[in-house]
Amino acid sequence: MRMEDVDTARSRKELAKLALEDLRWLGLDWDEGPDVGGPSRPYTQSERLAMYEAALVKLEQAGRLYPCFCSRAELAAVASAPHGLGSEGPAYPGTCRSLTLEQQAERSLHKLPSVRFAVNARPTGFDDGVAGPQRIAPGAGGDFIVKRADGLFSYQLAVVVDDAAMGITDVLRGADLLDSTPRQLQLYEALELQPPRFAHVPLLFGPDGKRLAKRHGGISLAALRESGTAPEQVVGWLAFASGLIDKHEPIRASELVEHFKLDRIPRIGMTVTDDMLKRLLG
């Protein structure tokens, strides 16, 4: 269990504590984590900043970083141009990549820069455990930020450093992060680290076609706990919705271990009907 609070402006300790309580209520447990310790401590990203800074030094020495002085307005103009978008937003056009040292020095007098990673010009390919073989065009998404102008490290850099340091072999996450994977694979290569295997599972969508979220009712774990819903009811609902069991029935998280197989998970997202929501909410 790792607490990813690298964005300190949006992270609160009381919410982190609640998240651990919710997961334990659901029936999940972990051998290592911020509340139990372990050989890869610390398990809270805000306590691992020195490791991210060391990774930046290595990338800098390899010539893969450059300062970016682009304003929000300039990036917004890029975002308004027609192009395909994923979770990572519009491709960065490389505006600051070719600045001379003199130009960088002059601009730094007026604005603190962010730090961008210069992607290479080769295509990125990997075999996803759910989505199948992926081949991403050279430089897709453009150079990306690894440290913001306000000093906060990016998610991309932090998870790569942490996963490698903690010996993570398999990453299973939502399909909305599929287009993050090529960026992370480039970081693994540049840092000379071994990447894990990736599997991206489809999202659940509400009756309105939007990603299932709080707007669809009291479906947060905290709300379900407070309503008196049994954790087995929630686990069974999630297992059925994700294809791990054939019918909706209460089941403990520990009982699902033997049922878990990646090939049971559909490759496209499921739309959760009003009837399914009623079953979850009782």
For 14, the token pair is: 């009381």
Task: Give alpha helix (H) positions in 153-256.
Answer: 155-165, 181-190, 221-226, 231-241
Q: Cα separation of 67 and 56, whole Å?
A: 12
Q: Cα separation of 106 and 121, whole Å?
A: 29
What are the backbone dihedrals phi and psi of residue 87, each rounded to the nearest 5 degrees, phi first?
-65, -20
Catalytic residue among 111, 214, 247, 261: 214
Would you call 147 a catalytic residue per the annotation?
Answer: no
What are the backbone dihedrals phi and psi of residue 33, each rounded to the nearest 5 degrees, phi first?
165, 175
Which of helix, strand or coil describes residue 171? strand
- Report the 10 Å Cβ neighbour count for 243: 16
Q: Sign of torsion, CA 26 256 132 121?
A: positive
Task: Specify the residue for token string 């992370």.
Answer: 184
**What DSSP assignment string belongs to 35-72?**
TTB-TT---BGGG-HHHHHHHHHHHHHTT-EEEE---H
Residues known to be catalytic: 214
